[in-house]
């Protein structure tokens, strides 16, 4: 049922004058209103129609307002209820709010007060809907299936995330820059029992030492120059949820000591404060550094490492999961198609061999950025090239034969034949690696028949079985 712009309200009261007067008031202010003379009738209409708010009398024969409220809480959770009561029953109305009523008004009702309370209740209801929708969307984004990859090492990551998500133990995510460590952290949080509480991120390498301490633990007013007011830290913000400590290897030693106390005792003290504050936030940390080597050199506390490393998860670099490249390319093409007005819908398979030879020092983040650039610069509906050049890396797309077989006195026809043969062999080898020797899939992708693929493999003395699992 479509919702009315101002909302649908059910008025439940055994007082005829109140029902008619309130119905007229609400209709005059753009609400669609329905009346029910008692609790039983209200229950029937709730089962048949969708409402945005219920305005219910507290004292009615049969099912009273409290019993109707309890029914609504059980059968229509989230539906706001405003109770209407006489002055003598205010205590019962307060009890109704304890049981879940959004608000109450007393008879005879002040029309302006009633309208204000209805508007506030509906605004809060809309915010609740939007929050639920956002949470559902976030859960979908960070569901296990949306961490792209079918590589066996990525499957191990999925399994570990699934195993640790249902616990409260600290997790330590290890991997190079750009591998998607924060995405794994979010998957842990949004698939845990803490999913409806905050997910708070702090990059420990992005802040100066004094600022990092204040950001993590908060500070009291006057605790240092510029501290003009009390500040709540990230651990308090993450109360009941998860705090993600990115680049944990860059945390100074004296702050490491404070982190150890949080993990051991679940307590913090704000900078400049003496009050001990209990915090309940699940800790997930990440780093691209070798913490064991840092322990040996005195750069990281060994006891903190063992507190964090309860459940380590290693995220592989892109160069070690190149069989995921086509899926990642397709994922980013769909994700960022809007950069070109959804005009770019395809990626030419012929571009993949060069990408397979690329080192991807920036990992998945670099791939995503290059895909954005390619989408923006494409003139048609297909990405036919992608810029892979960096100052440190030659153009892998046009490398000549490594064996030096092409001499300067070679004819152009022979030169072209050699270059073409080398490119053809390289392309075929990449396809075999990518699709694990599946000739049917390779032939379809290359837009040639299977016999031609087998003939080419014979020419270059390539055994497809050596590429199969």
Cα gap 184→163, rounded to integer Å? 13
pLDDT at 308: 96
Per-residue pLDDT at 405 exceeds 60: no
pLDDT in tens, 417-466: 665 666 777 778 878 887 788 888 788 777 788 888 888 888 877 877 77
Domains 8-137 and 144-316 share a fold: yes
Q: What is the pTM of this model?
A: 0.58
Cα gap 190→242, rounded to integer Å? 9
pLDDT at 396: 41
By 3-state DSSP, what share of the chain in percent is helix, strand and coil, each rounded to 5?
A: 50, 15, 35
Beta-carbon contacts of residue 319 (< 8 Å; ≥ 6 apart): 359, 360
- 147, 158 in Cβ contact below 8 A? yes
Q: Which residue has the higher pLDDT, 187 or 305?
A: 305
Cis amide prior to 69 (ω within 30 degrees):
no
pLDDT at 349: 78
pLDDT in tens, 288-314: 999 999 999 999 999 999 999 999 999
Per-residue pLDDT at 142 exceeds 80: no
Reduced to 3 states (helix: H, G, I; strand: E, B; else coil), residue 428 is helix
Per-residue pLDDT at 163 exceeds 70: yes
412-467, CATH topology level: Arc Repressor Mutant, subunit A (1.10.10)
Architecture of the domain spanning 144-316: 3-Layer(aba) Sandwich (3.40)
CATH number of 8-137: 3.40.50.2300
φ/ψ of 271, rounded to 5, equals -60, 130
Q: Tell me the domain boundaries of the chain.
A: 8-137, 144-316, 319-393, 412-467
Beta-carbon contacts of residue 168 (< 8 Å; ≥ 6 apart): 282
From the options 3.40.50.300, 1.10.8.60, 3.50.50.60, 3.40.630.30, give the CATH code of 319-393: 1.10.8.60
Per-residue pLDDT at 110 exceeds 50: yes
């Amino acid at each position: 049922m479509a919702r009315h712009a101002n909302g649908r309200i059910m008025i439940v009261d055994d007082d005829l004058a109140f029902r008619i007067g309130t119905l007229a008031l609400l209709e005059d202010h753009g609400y669609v209103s329905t009346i029910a003379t008692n609790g039983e009738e209200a229950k029937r209409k709730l089962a048949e129609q969708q409402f945005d708010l219920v305005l219910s009398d507290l004292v009615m024969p049969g099912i009273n307002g409290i019993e109707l409220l309890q029914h609504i809480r059980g059968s229509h959770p989230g539906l706001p209820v405003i109770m209407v009561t006489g002055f003598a029953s205010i205590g019962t109305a307060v009890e109704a709010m304890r049981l879940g009523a959004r608000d109450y008004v007393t008879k005879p009702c002040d029309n302006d007060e009633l309208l204000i309370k209805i508007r506030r209740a509906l605004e809060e209801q809309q915010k609740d809907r939007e929050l639920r929708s956002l949470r559902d969307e976030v859960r979908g984004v960070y569901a296990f299936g949306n961490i792209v990859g079918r590589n066996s090492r990525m499957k191990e990551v999925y399994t570990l995330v699934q195993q640790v998500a249902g616990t409260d133990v600290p997790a330590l995510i290890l991997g190079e820059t750009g591998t998607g460590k924060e995405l794994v952290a979010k998957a842990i949080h949004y698939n845990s029992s803490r999913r409806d509480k905050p997910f708070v991120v702090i990059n420990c390498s992005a802040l100066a030492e004094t600022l990092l301490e204040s950001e993590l633990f908060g500070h009291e007013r006057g605790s240092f120059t510029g501290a003009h007011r009390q500040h709540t830290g990230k651990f308090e913000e993450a109360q009941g949820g998860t705090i993600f400590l990115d680049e944990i290897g860059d945390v100074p030693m004296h702050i490491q000591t404070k982190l150890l106390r949080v993990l051991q005792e679940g307590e913090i003290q704000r900078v400049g404060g003496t009050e001990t504050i209990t915090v309940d936030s699940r800790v997930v940390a990440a780093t691209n550094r070798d913490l064991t080597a840092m322990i040996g050199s005195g750069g990281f506390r060994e006891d903190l490492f063992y507190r964090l490393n309860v459940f380590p998860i290693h995220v592989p670099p892109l160069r070690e999961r190149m069989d995921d490249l086509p899926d990642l390319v397709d994922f980013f093409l769909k994700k960022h198609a809007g950069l070109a007005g959804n005009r770019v819908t395809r990626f030419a398979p012929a571009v993949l061999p060069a990408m397979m030879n690329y080192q991807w020092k920036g990992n998945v983040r670099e791939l995503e950025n290059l895909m954005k650039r390619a989408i923006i610069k494409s003139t048609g509906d297909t990405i036919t090239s992608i810029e892979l050049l960096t100052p440190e890396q030659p153009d892998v797309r046009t490398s000549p034969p490594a064996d030096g077989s092409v001499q300067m006195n070679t004819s152009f026809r022979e030169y072209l034949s050699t270059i073409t043969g080398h490119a053809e062999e390289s392309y075929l080898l990449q396809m075999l690696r990518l699709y694990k020797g599946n000739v049917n899939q390779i032939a379809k992708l290359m837009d040639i028949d299977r016999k031609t693929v087998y003939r080419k493999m014979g020419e270059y003395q390539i055994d497809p079985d050596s590429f199969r699992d």
